[in-house]
């Protein structure tokens, strides 16, 4: 990679957008280093992106204590000078509204820095100067706020400096919902070097949030990252994220809702400025501290495969998982256990009381030994043939590690038999162990009963997975759930069939809406012995933000369409819709694959294209290809078992249940726009080679376009090669 050079005076500032915590205004800190050199400049970095000879963020830790909506934030960062010369500069931190800096330290050679807070006008002036020098367009979006500034002592070549910044701020609250946000990735533009393939450097990133709310915390949800949540009673929780940053991550966002209601219902909306219909997300959470009488008594049937292929560690883990589930049953629950191989054996041929028969069932499970074939049809017949009372929800947990090899072996007939026999409307949760399972059979049985299938790969622990699943569904509080909306019309809502609500578990719903955006939603269902009706008012008229919602909704829709094709066969309309959604939102699917370009760097040169060479009417196997995958995106012949079939089913379910925005290599999402790296240009996904105005990067026209459209700053910061829409005009930024 060639360094970008300018013939300007020595000491010109190079902007560095560093990773830090922010609140509602998404504050971002910047180090603007000057390099002591008589001519030319070395490239520097955005968070985690290494360019040869620059300043690197090598560690980023964020700790926040949130008490009654007030966040006390401490940011600790380590910077390393990997260049061969001394670097010095200025540390800039745009403060969020209402924030107060309480501490700032950087000690070097026995000296400790101090800083000052700049006013709005001076902060804006600094930002515009940086932008006009073509150093970082992304900084412009943060202009207009107060700025904290401190001089940085020279950092010698090969040395490190540690910076600690602390401040307090009040988090924004809308109704019951409080938002905490934090940009984990910046975009950087340095002279004429932007957009050239770069080396990637992983920066260890750790975020730790301790929340003491003073009232019950109902929702804890991050749409941007997979987080670990530890509840500490009803009013407190710890949320952590640990990963590695490479400068391309989404902003870290966390929502938490405070409510004392029996059921907490929160709506987030996004109203696109394109005139199309809106997007919404609904989060439903039952109260945590429910009494035992609020938990619905249930009927549960455990069906365990004990065929010869389960022998050894698998049967031991499965027995341990089943024992755990039996111990989790409430004394009022009824249950039985069925084991099967070539033949079927029942613990009891009827449903019995957990309080009376649990110990005997544990002894029965302990004596199970593996051996024989796999008679799936007879096992399901025995379970579905039991007499259920009709006033309790019925759950069947079915676990197998093989294909049907005894009794009825035709998957289609087994599926038909299960549907015909399921007169109690039992939810059949299926678990496939290993790769030698019929995914079509297990997925179809689960989907037909409005349940889900899951798979346990060979390296995974059966006991942990099944036990974790049963813990979630062991305490139902509302069944037969329905939603009615007044004030807006909703459609394309996922999941299509609402699940039962369980204590301590959240239901996340995504959909589209038309209408004025203000009204009420009514939640109905069956509780413990009676009918429940909960009404919640909402207002989606202020729904211009939450621009992660379109991608999450599209992910779920692609997942459901894919499942329809996998289970029921392909049709032209579904295929075309998957292709359109995949291309617009950058979603992998059976028809849109990420393919490595031959002439580009493997980590970045991934594009999305529609596979047009599949035969019409085919029923292709899912084949999700990523960076480093095979160059061909053509799906293989249909498959219902094996590694690829299992992974395809798991990936489809992940799409159907998507709750966090994921960003694959070669795809960048900025607001509601999706950019795909194609022929070295970051190209907005909706561009169809229309008439496009060519503007040179760094020209007067480029600078004026940027300053006049500050909302596009992050798009411009993608690099020197960008194709995007500005108003009604397509613009191509070229070197």
Lowest-pLDDT choice from 15-29, 41-55, 327-341, 693-707: 15-29
CB-CB neighbours of 303 under 10 Å: 25
The structure tokens listed for 506 are 């959240």
pLDDT more than 70, % of the chain: 73
pLDDT one-digit tens code per residue, 164-206: 888 888 888 877 888 887 655 432 222 222 222 333 456 788 8
The structure tokens listed for 562 are 């894919």
State in Å, rounded, how far the first CA of the chain is from the last one. 15
CB-CB neighbours of 464 under 10 Å: 14
CB 122 within 8 A of CB 147: yes
Q: Which residue has the higher pLDDT, 194 or 73?
A: 73
- For every residue of 174-221, which 3-state class applies, written as one string? ECCEEEEEEECCCCCCCCCCCCCCCEECCEEEEEEEEEECCCCEEEEE
Question: Phi, psi at residue 482, to the nearest 5°?
Answer: -135, 160
Q: How far apart are CA 726 and CA 32, in angstroms?
A: 29
CB 356 within 8 A of CB 259: no
The structure tokens listed for 218 are 């109902």
Say whether 554 sits in a helix, a strand or coil: helix
The structure tokens listed for 550 are 């379109």
**What pLDDT shows up at residue 50?**
30
pLDDT one-digit tens code per residue, 704-723: 888 777 777 778 878 889 98
Say if residue 385 is exposed, middle or buried (CB neighbours under 10 Å; 0-12, 13-18, 19+).
exposed
| Those residues with Cβ within 8 angstroms of residue 593's Cβ, 6 or more apart along the chain or in another chain | 608, 609, 611, 623, 624, 625, 629, 633
CB 21 within 8 A of CB 62: yes
Residue 627's pLDDT band (cuts 50, 70, 90): very low
Q: How far apart are CA 571 and CA 175, in angstroms?
A: 44
The structure tokens listed for 200 are 């990637």
Say if residue 588 is exposed, middle or buried (CB neighbours under 10 Å; 0-12, 13-18, 19+).
buried
H or E segment and range at residue 319: helix 313-328
Lowest-pLDDT choice from 95-104, 114-123, 494-503, 566-575: 114-123
Residue 2's pLDDT band (cuts 50, 70, 90): very low
Q: Which residue has the higher pLDDT, 490 or 167?
A: 490
Task: Give the Cα-Cα-Cα angle 610, 611, 617 (nearest 5 degrees).
Answer: 120
**Helices and strands (H and E) in the chain: how many:** 12, 41
Q: How far apart are CA 125 and CA 48, in angstroms?
A: 28
| Residue whose pair of structure tokens reads 């498959």 in the numeric block | 639
H or E segment and range at residue 118: strand 115-118
Say whether 402 sits in a helix, a strand or coil: coil
Task: Give mean pLDDT, residues 67-87.
Answer: 82
Beta-ladder partners of 64: 73, 209
Beta-ladder partners of 501: 478
Does the structure show a pLDDT above 70 at 96? Answer: no
Does the structure show a pLDDT above 60 at 299? Answer: yes
Q: How far apart are CA 451 and CA 396, in angstroms?
A: 10
Q: Residues in the chain, how many?
A: 735
The structure tokens listed for 32 are 């603007």
pLDDT one-digit tens code per residue, 394-453: 999 999 998 999 999 999 999 999 999 999 999 999 999 999 999 999 999 999 999 999
Q: How far apart are CA 230 and CA 461, in angstroms?
A: 22
Q: Which residue has the higher pLDDT, 678 or 609?
A: 678
Task: Give mean pLDDT, residues 25-48.
Answer: 33
DSSP 258: E
Does the structure show a pLDDT above 50 at 36? Answer: no
| Those residues with Cβ within 8 angstroms of residue 643's Cβ, 6 or more apart along the chain or in another chain | 435
Domains defined for the chain, CATH in brackets: 16-165+182-201 (2.60.40), 296-473 (3.40.50.410), 570-656 (no CATH), 667-734 (no CATH)
Say whether 116 sits in a helix, a strand or coil: strand
Q: How far apart are CA 525 and CA 290, in angstroms?
A: 17
Question: Phi, psi at residue 477, to the nearest 5°?
Answer: -120, -15
Residue 225's pLDDT band (cuts 50, 70, 90): confident
Q: How far apart are CA 245 and CA 46, in angstroms?
A: 10
Half-sphere exposure of 479 (CA within 13 A, CB side): 23
Nearest to 155 by CA among 59, 226, 89: 89
pLDDT one-digit tens code per residue, 535-578: 988 888 766 678 888 988 999 999 999 988 888 888 889 989 98
The structure tokens listed for 155 are 């950092």
Does the structure show a pLDDT above 80 at 391? Answer: yes
Q: Which residue has the higher pLDDT, 683 or 100?
A: 683
Nearest to 486 by CA among 517, 513, 521: 521
**What pLDDT shows up at residue 189?**
26
CB-CB neighbours of 226 under 10 Å: 10
Q: For 342-426, where are the alpha helices, taking DSSP H only?
A: 354-366, 376-384, 411-421
**What pLDDT shows up at residue 48?**
28
Say whether 520 sits in a helix, a strand or coil: strand
Sheet holding 87-94, edge to edge: 16-18, 29-35, 87-94, 147-155, 115-118
The structure tokens listed for 83 are 């260049």
Does the structure show a pLDDT above 60 at 628? Answer: no
Task: Give mean pLDDT, residues 222-227.
Answer: 84
**What pLDDT shows up at residue 221?**
87
DSSP 141: G
**What pLDDT shows up at residue 528?**
77
Q: How far apart are CA 86 and CA 107, in angstroms?
A: 17
Beta-ladder partners of 160: 80
Residue 245's pLDDT band (cuts 50, 70, 90): low
- Cis geometry, peptide bond prior to residue 319 (ω within 30 degrees of 0): no
CB-CB neighbours of 462 under 10 Å: 24
Does the structure show a pLDDT above 50 at 281? Answer: yes
**What pLDDT shows up at residue 432?**
93
- For every residue of 26-56, which 3-state class applies, written as one string? CCCEEEEEEECCCCCCCCCCCCCEECCCCEE
CB 445 within 8 A of CB 430: yes
Q: How far apart are CA 164 and CA 61, in angstroms?
A: 10
Q: Which residue has the higher pLDDT, 684 or 628?
A: 684
pLDDT one-digit tens code per residue, 334-352: 999 999 999 999 999 999 9
Q: How far apart are CA 478 and CA 383, in angstroms?
A: 24
**What pLDDT shows up at residue 266?**
87
**What pLDDT shows up at residue 272?**
82
- Give the dihedral of Cα atoms 18, 19, 22, 24; nearest 10 deg: 90
pLDDT one-digit tens code per residue, 352-374: 999 999 999 999 999 999 999 99
Average pLDDT of every residue of the chain: 76
């Amino acid at each position: 990679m060639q360094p970008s050079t300018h013939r300007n005076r020595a000491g010109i500032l190079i902007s560095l957008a560093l990773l830090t915590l922010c609140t509602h205004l998404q504050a971002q800190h910047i180090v603007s280093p000057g390099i002591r050199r008589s001519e030319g400049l070395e490239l520097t970095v955005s968070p985690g992106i290494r360019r040869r000879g620059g300043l690197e963020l090598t560690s980023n830790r964020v700790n926040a204590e949130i008490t009654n909506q007030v966040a006390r934030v401490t940011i600790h960062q380590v910077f390393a000078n990997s260049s061969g010369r001394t670097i010095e500069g200025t540390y800039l931190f745009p403060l969020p509204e209402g924030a107060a800096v309480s501490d700032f330290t950087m000690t070097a050679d026995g000296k400790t820095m101090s800083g000052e807070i700049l006013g709005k006008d001076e902060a804006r002036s600094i930002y515009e100067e940086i932008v006009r020098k073509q150093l970082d367009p992304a900084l412009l979006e943060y202009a207009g706020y107060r700025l904290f500034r401190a001089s940085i002592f020279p950092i010698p070549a090969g040395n490190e400096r540690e910076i600690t910044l602390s401040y307090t701020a009040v988090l924004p609250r809308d109704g019951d919902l409080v938002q905490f946000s934090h940009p984990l990735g910046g975009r950087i533009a340095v002279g004429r070097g932007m957009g050239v393939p770069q080396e990637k450097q992983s920066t260890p990133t750790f975020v730790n949030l301790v929340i003491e709310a003073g009232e019950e915390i109902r929702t804890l949800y991050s749409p941007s990252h997979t987080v670990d949540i530890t509840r500490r009673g009803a009013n407190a929780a710890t949320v952590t994220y640990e990963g590695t940053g490479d400068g391309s991550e989404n902003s870290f966002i966390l929502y938490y809702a405070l409510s004392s209601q029996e059921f907490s219902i929160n709506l987030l909306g996004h109203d696109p400025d394109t005139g199309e219909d809106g997007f919404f997300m609904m989060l439903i959470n039952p109260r945590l501290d429910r009494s035992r009488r609020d938990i619905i008594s249930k009927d549960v049937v455990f069906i365990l495969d004990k065929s010869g292929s389960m022998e050894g560690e698998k049967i031991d883990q499965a027995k341990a998982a089943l024992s755990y589930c039996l111990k989790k049953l409430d004394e009022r629950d009824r249950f039985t256990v069925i084991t099967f191989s070539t033949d079927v054996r029942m613990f009891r041929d009827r449903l019995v009381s957990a309080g009376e028969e649990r110990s005997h069932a544990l002894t029965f499970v302990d004596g199970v030994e593996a051996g024989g074939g796999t008679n799936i049809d007879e096992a399901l017949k025995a379970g579905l043939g039991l007499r259920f009372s009709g006033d309790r929800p019925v759950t069947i947990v079915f676990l197998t590690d093989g294909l049907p090899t005894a009794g009825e072996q035709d998957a289609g007939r087994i599926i038909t038999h299960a549907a015909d026999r399921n007169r109690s409307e039992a939810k059949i949760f299926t678990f496939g162990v290993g790769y030698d399972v019929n995914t079509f059979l297990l997925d179809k049985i689960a989907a037909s009963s409005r349940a889900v299938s899951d798979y346990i790969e060979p390296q995974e622990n059966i006991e942990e997975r099944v036990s974790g699943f049963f813990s979630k569904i062991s305490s139902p509080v509302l069944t037969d759930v329905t939603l009615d909306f007044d004030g807006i019309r909703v459609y394309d809502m996922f999941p299509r069939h609402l699940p039962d609500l369980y204590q301590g578990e959240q239901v996340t719903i995504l959909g589209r809406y038309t209408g004025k955006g203000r009204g009420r939603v009514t939640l109905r269902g069956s509780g413990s012995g009676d009918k429940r009706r909960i009404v919640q008012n909402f207002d989606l008229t202020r729904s211009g933000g939450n621009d992660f919602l379109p991608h999450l909704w599209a992910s779920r829709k692609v997942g459901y369409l894919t499942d329809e094709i996998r289970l029921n066969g392909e049709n032209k309309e579904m295929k075309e819709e998957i292709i359109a959604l995949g291309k617009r939102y950058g979603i992998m699917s059976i028809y849109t694959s990420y393919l490595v370009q031959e002439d580009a760097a493997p980590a970045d040169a991934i594009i999305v294209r529609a596979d047009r060479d599949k035969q019409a009417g085919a029923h292709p196997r899912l084949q999700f290809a990523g960076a480093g995958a095979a160059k061909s995106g053509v799906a293989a012949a249909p498959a219902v078992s094996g590694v690829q079939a299992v992974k395809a089913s798991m990936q489809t379910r992940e799409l159907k249940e998507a709750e966090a925005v994921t960003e694959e290599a070669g795809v960048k999402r900025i607001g509601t726009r999706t950019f795909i790296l194609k022929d070295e240009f970051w190209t907005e996904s909706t561009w169809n080679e229309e008439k496009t105005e060519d503007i040179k990067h760094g020209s007067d026209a480029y600078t004026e376009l940027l300053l006049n459209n500050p909302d596009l700053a992050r798009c411009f910061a993608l690099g020197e090669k960008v194709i995007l829409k500005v108003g009604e005009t397509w613009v191509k930024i070229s070197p």
